[in-house]
Amino acid sequence: MSNPKVHLRSFGCQMNKLDSNLVENAFASAGYKLTDTASEADAVLINTCSVRGGAEERVFSLLGQLKHIKESRPEIVVAVFGCMAQRLGAELLNHEAVNIVCAPAQIPQLVDMVADTLESKVGSIAVTENIRSRPQPELSERLDDFELAYDRPQERLPSQAFVRIMRGCNNFCTYCIVPYVRGPETSRPPSAIIAQIKKLAASGVKQVTLLGQTVNSYRYETGENSYGLAELLEMVSEIDGIEWIRFVTGHPKDFDEKIFRAMAKLPKVCPYLHVPAQSGSDRILKAMNRGYTSSDYISLIEKAKAIVPGIAIAGDFIVGFPGETDEDFATTVELVKKVEYKNCFVFKYSPRPGTRADEKLGDTVPAEIKKQRNIELLAVQEKISLKLNEALVGAKVKVLVEGLSKKSHLNRAENSGLPQLIARTATDRIVVFNGHIELAGRFCHVQITKVSALTLFGELLDRLTRII
Ligand code: SF4
């Protein structure tokens, strides 16, 4: 088959989006054409997420649609990869629509697996047998080579790229499936990370985001040298062409002061931390096996604010964890008020099969209470976000432009004739303003004129108002 067409759907976190980019790149390099339409594809690839039940349900619903498409086009090959592939393995292969199951550690094999199935019509599976044992060096090297082959900016985020610095997780938070589907924590060699970022910078990338499940526990030993995240930030800062550096996600128990000092010292490192607290109740934090108390967390945030001027903090919370009482929830609300997050992501607890919380604690908080707590916590956060944003009215901010705002028909400046663009500040605040689309992927300065809890609105200040 010459230039077969492939359609890719991606669910889940930033780590999954990165895997999708790597896979898309590998298929394009192997001569496949990408299509936005599943029904006209020769192969449909689905990158899956197991973090919440809802994410898995969406994948099963998509598989249901593909089953219908396959009634008229049985030759379409459907490959499921990512966390669900590792979690469900052969069970997923039994689904009528599925031909290939490929776990996250096996994605370098995906192109060959699809090519074989297109040819032979025989399905296949590649998952990791003992997911918690240390990966074989050959497997890590293969994943690293696969990673290194990706050297372009993100298609929908010009001048930006995400770079994985570590894989897996060793923390075993009781609600989380990640350690069972992504395996033990392994850090990539700094030399490979730096080589990759240099290639990205040469292809026009100006902002890199270093990715890891617990990015601040990055550690790589070689001979007498030991590298942590602080050292890596220093090394990435030295790369010409890279202007902004971000890292996500941090675990509260693994921050050492060196990281904050590096953030304060290195002008390229954005003053932004995403550091999930999950709960403000010590009892619930213990049941979650998070390894810190709420006062440890608050001290950490105070230290970050004291060392890094103007730092913005984003958080994650789970409401309705098994056993969470009204009093526990009240302590979470207090924590949110005390920290004054830039923004928070709030999730209703979703039991995941195979986790300790699911096996031992059940799902005791009624759905209606979870929903109420979710709404209440978001409302508390909205007031804080609005207050912090209001302090920025009149400020001049530097932003990196992402592209057209999804709501570009709104807020169009009178008679400007220019579309509305979306951009982000170094502190990860969303800014929209009217400007030429050619600004996408460029830095510029904007004066903030009005705000909402989620967005800053402004006017472009630089000469780049007109592109010539
Ligand atoms: S730190 Fe906890 S929540 Fe985060 S990936 Fe690891 S186990 Fe999951």
pLDDT score recorded for residue 467 = 36
- Tell me, in angstroms, the distance from the centre of ligand 1 to residue 176's CA: 6
d(C-alpha 79, C-alpha 8), whole Å: 10
Q: Which one of 16, 251, 356, 358 would you pick to mutate in the ligand 1 pocket, going by the greatest count of ligand atoms within 8 A of its CB?
A: 251
pLDDT digits (tens, 9 = 90+) for 409-433: 554 555 467 899 999 999 999 999 9
Residue type, 253: K
One DSSP character per residue, 354-377 reads TSHHHHHT---S-HHHHHHHHHHH
Ligand 1: which residue has its CA nearest to atom 4? Answer: 213
pLDDT score recorded for residue 306 = 97
- Report yes or no: 128 and 167 within 8 Å, Cβ to Cβ: no
3-state secondary structure 270-290: CCEEECCCECCCHHHHHHHCC
Ligand 1: which residue has its CA nearest to atom 2? Answer: 173
- Tell me, in angstroms, the distance from the centre of ligand 1 to residue 403's CA: 32
pLDDT score recorded for residue 409 = 54
Q: Is the CB of 176 under 6 A from ligand 1?
A: yes
Q: Is the CB of 80 under 6 A from ligand 1?
A: no
- Tell me, in angstroms, the distance from the centre of ligand 1 to residue 165's CA: 16
d(C-alpha 379, C-alpha 369), whole Å: 15
- Tell me, in angstroms, the distance from the centre of ligand 1 to residue 297's CA: 16
For 225, residues 6+ apart whose C-beta sits below 8 A from its C-beta are none
DSSP 133: S
- Tell me, in angstroms, the distance from the centre of ligand 1 to residue 276's CA: 10
Query: Closest ligand 1 atom to the C-alpha of 176?
Result: 8
Residue type, 415: N
Tens place of pLDDT for every residue, the chain, 468 residues? Answer: 678 999 999 998 888 989 999 999 899 999 999 999 998 999 999 999 998 888 899 999 999 999 999 999 999 999 999 999 999 999 999 999 999 999 999 999 999 999 999 999 899 999 998 888 877 788 888 888 888 887 777 777 899 999 999 999 999 999 999 999 999 999 999 999 999 999 999 999 999 999 999 999 999 998 889 999 999 999 999 999 999 999 999 999 999 899 999 999 999 999 999 999 999 999 999 999 999 999 999 999 999 999 999 999 999 999 999 999 999 999 999 999 999 999 999 999 999 998 999 999 999 999 999 999 999 999 999 999 999 999 999 999 999 999 999 875 554 555 467 899 999 999 999 999 999 999 999 999 999 999 999 999 999 997 544 332
Query: Closest ligand 1 atom to the C-alpha of 289?
Result: 2
- Report yes or no: 426 and 398 within 8 Å, Cβ to Cβ: yes
pLDDT score recorded for residue 129 = 87
- Tell me, in angstroms, the distance from the centre of ligand 1 to residue 130's CA: 19
Ligand 1: which residue has its CA nearest to atom 1? Answer: 171
What's domain 5-126's architecture?
Answer: 3-Layer(aba) Sandwich (3.40)
Angle at 103 between CA 98 and CA 105, to 5 degrees: 155
For the chain, the domains span: 5-126, 133-269, 271-390, 396-465
For 383, residues 6+ apart whose C-beta sits below 8 A from its C-beta are 453
SS3 of 337, please? helix
d(C-alpha 399, C-alpha 64), whole Å: 42
Q: Is the CB of 178 under 6 A from ligand 1?
A: yes
d(C-alpha 175, C-alpha 242), whole Å: 37
Question: How many residues are listed for the chain in this entry?
Answer: 468
Q: Is the CB of 51 under 6 A from ligand 1?
A: no
Q: Is the CB of 213 under 6 A from ligand 1?
A: yes
- Tell me, in angstroms, the distance from the centre of ligand 1 to residue 173's CA: 5
DSSP 106: G
Same fold, 5-126 and 271-390: no
- Tell me, in angstroms, the distance from the centre of ligand 1 to residue 214's CA: 7
Q: Is the CB of 172 under 6 A from ligand 1?
A: yes
Nearest alpha-carbon partner for 349 in 332, 362, 334? 362
What's domain 271-390's architecture?
Answer: 2-Layer Sandwich (3.30)
Q: Is the CB of 163 under 6 A from ligand 1?
A: no
End-to-end CA distance of the chain: 45
* Cα-Cα-Cα-Cα dihedral sign, residues 351, 356, 362, 366: negative
d(C-alpha 374, C-alpha 347), whole Å: 7
d(C-alpha 346, C-alpha 113), whole Å: 38
Beta bridge partners of 455: 430
Q: Is the CB of 251 under 6 A from ligand 1?
A: yes
Torsion of CA 322, 323, 327, 331, to 10 degrees: -40
pLDDT score recorded for residue 413 = 52
**Axis crossing angle, helix 257-265 with helix 294-307, rounded to the nearest 10:** 20
pLDDT score recorded for residue 408 = 58
pLDDT score recorded for residue 53 = 84
For 267, residues 6+ apart whose C-beta sits below 8 A from its C-beta are none
- Report yes or no: 178 and 169 within 8 Å, Cβ to Cβ: yes
- 396-465 is a CATH 2.40.50.140 domain: yes
How many contiguous H segments (helices) and E segments (strands) does the chain have?
Answer: 15, 21
Please report, for residues 284, 370, 381, the alpha-carbon distance to residue 374 in angstroms, rounded to integers and kept in the order given: 16, 6, 11
- 257, two tokens: 């002061």
pLDDT score recorded for residue 138 = 84
d(C-alpha 34, C-alpha 20), whole Å: 12
pLDDT score recorded for residue 373 = 98
Q: 133-269 belongs to which CATH class?
A: alpha beta
Q: Is the CB of 214 under 6 A from ligand 1?
A: yes
d(C-alpha 188, C-alpha 186), whole Å: 7
One DSSP character per residue, 14-73 reads HHHHHHHHHHHHHHHHTTPEE-S-GGG-SEEEEEE--SSHHHHHHHHHHHHHHHHHHHH-
Q: Given the structure tokens 């025989």, which residue do they identify?
A: 122
Per DSSP (E only), the strands in 185-275 are: 186-187, 207-211, 219-222, 225-228, 244-248, 272-274
pLDDT score recorded for residue 149 = 83
pLDDT score recorded for residue 14 = 86
Query: Closest ligand 1 atom to the C-alpha of 249?
Result: 4
